[in-house]
Chains A and B, each alone.
Chain A
Amino acid sequence: MLRLDCLRSVYSELEHCLVVTIMGAVAAELHSLGHRPNYFYLQHAMGLASSTGLGLALCLPEQTVIVFDGDGSLLMNLGALSTMARYRPRNLVHVVFDNESLLSVGGFPTATSTGTDLEGIARAAGIPRAVTVRGVEDFRTAICDAVHGSELTTIVAKVEAAGPSGYVTDLSLLENRFQFRRHIQSLKKA
C-alpha cells in the first residue's frame, strides 16, 4: 500500500476537516494532491503533530481534526498517545503512516520494523479505538468511520517505504501557518 494512494482515496473527505501533517513525504504528497487552506504541514518538530491536533480538537469541538502522523514521529513522542487518550476528543482522528522507516533521512529502520506495534501501544495508552489497515479500501473505510464516528481513533496504516523524490514545496512555512490560522478564524465567524 502506498501512502499517496491512501491520501488520494480520502482527499475529498479532507475538505471539511482541519488537517495537520508531519514533515517529509506525508507533507509533500498531500501537498502534491492539491493544497487547501485547511492543511497545516508541520515541517519539523517531530512528534508534535499529534499534540497540535489535540490542541486544535479541544479548542474547536465543532471541527473534525485529522492528524497524519508517522511511525518515526510518533515514536519520538509516545507520551502524546497517553495525553490524547486522557482527554480523548471525539473530533480527533489520528492517522499513523507506518512505513517502518525514517524514510527522508535514508530509510533507516524504525522499531516498528522489529516488532513494535503502534496499534497495541495506542490501545494500551487508552485510545478508545485503534485499528491497523493494510489496504487502500480498508484505509478509506477506517478514515470515514472515524471522521463520522464519535470516538478518538488511531489508525495505523502500514505503507511501503516509498515517497517523492523531494520534500520542499513552493508553499513557505509561514505562509502556510498564517493561511491555516486565518482559515480557522473564518470558520468561526461563519
Chain B
Amino acid sequence: MPVSLTNSKLIYETLKECDIRLVSALPETWLVHLIRMTDEDPEMTLIRLAKEEEAVGISAGAHFAGVKSAMLMQNHGFLASINGIVSFAHLYKIPLLMLISYRGTFGERDPWQTQGGNVTEPLLRALSIPYFFLDQVEPVKKRIRQAQTLAESSLQPVAVLLTRDLMWEE
C-alpha cells in the first residue's frame, strides 16, 4: 500500500512529543499507519469510532480529565462532525486537534471523494477554524506542534490538513 510509512511515523512522533495520549479515529486509507501505530503503543489510548462526531465528545471528556487528545479522520468525517464542533467545541470552548486527510483534491482518482474535496476549506473558513496544509515533510513537526499550541491556548478546534503529497507515495 503506497501510504507513506515514513511520513506517518513523523506525524505520529510529533503527536507523542505534543503529549497526545488519546486518539479517536475512524479508519481511512491514508491514516492506516497512524492508526496502527496508535493501537500498538501502550502509552496511547486509541478509540475506534462508529462516526467521527463522537470524537468531539470524547476529546471534550479527555480535556476535562486533563488528557491531551487528537482526532484522526478523513475530510468527510470532518463534515460529519460539524454539529458537534459548533454546538460543543465552539459553544463550550473545547480544544480539538483535528488531523484531517484531505481527499478529493488535485490528483484524486476516486470519484466519490471529489465533492468533499471541494467544500472542505470553504467550510473550515465558514466555521472560523484555523487550518494549515501539510504537503511537505519539512514543516510537519513544527506545524503540528503549533496547531496543538493554538488549540490549547485558544480553546477551540484547529485543523491540520494532511495532503496527498505528504501521505501518498505514487
A residues at B contact (CB < 8 Å): 20, 40, 42-45, 47-60, 77, 79-80, 82-83, 86-87, 173-174, 177, 180-181, 184-185, 188
Contact = CB atoms under 8 A, between A and B. Distances in A.
Given A59-B61, A174-B92, A177-B92, A48 B54 contact: yes
A45 B84 contact: yes
B94 to A, nearest CB: 8
B11 interface: no
A45 B84 CA distance: 5
Nearest to B88: A45
Contacts of A59: 22, 45, 61-62, 65-67
B66 A80 contact: no
Given A59-B22, A177-B93, A51 B56 contact: yes
Contacts of A55: 22, 47, 57-62, 64-65, 69
Contacts of A40: 64
Given A58-B45, A174-B93, A51 B57 contact: yes
A55 B21 CA distance: 12
A86 B48 CA distance: 8
B49 interface: yes
B61 A51 contact: yes
B53 to A, nearest CB: 7
Interface in B31-48: 45, 47-48
Interface of B: 22, 45, 47-51, 53-67, 69, 83-84, 87-88, 91-94
A83 B50 contact: yes
Contacts, number: 107
A86 B47 CA distance: 9
B50 A82 contact: yes
Contact of A54 (B58, B91, B94): B58
Contact of B66 (A48, A53, A184): A184
Contact of B87 (A44, A52, A53, A86): A44
A40 B57 CA distance: 12
A20 B58 CA distance: 12
Contact of A49 (B53, B55, B57): B57
A77 B50 CA distance: 9
A180 B64 contact: yes
Contacts of B58: 51-52, 54-55, 58
B50 A48 contact: no
7 contacts: A42-B88, A54-B54, A55-B64, A56-B62, A57-B61, A79-B51, A177-B92
A45 B65 contact: no
Residue of B48, B59, B61, B92 with highest tally of chain A CB at under 10 A:
B61
A77 B53 contact: yes
Contact of B63 (A44, A50, A54, A181): A181
Contacts of B55: 51
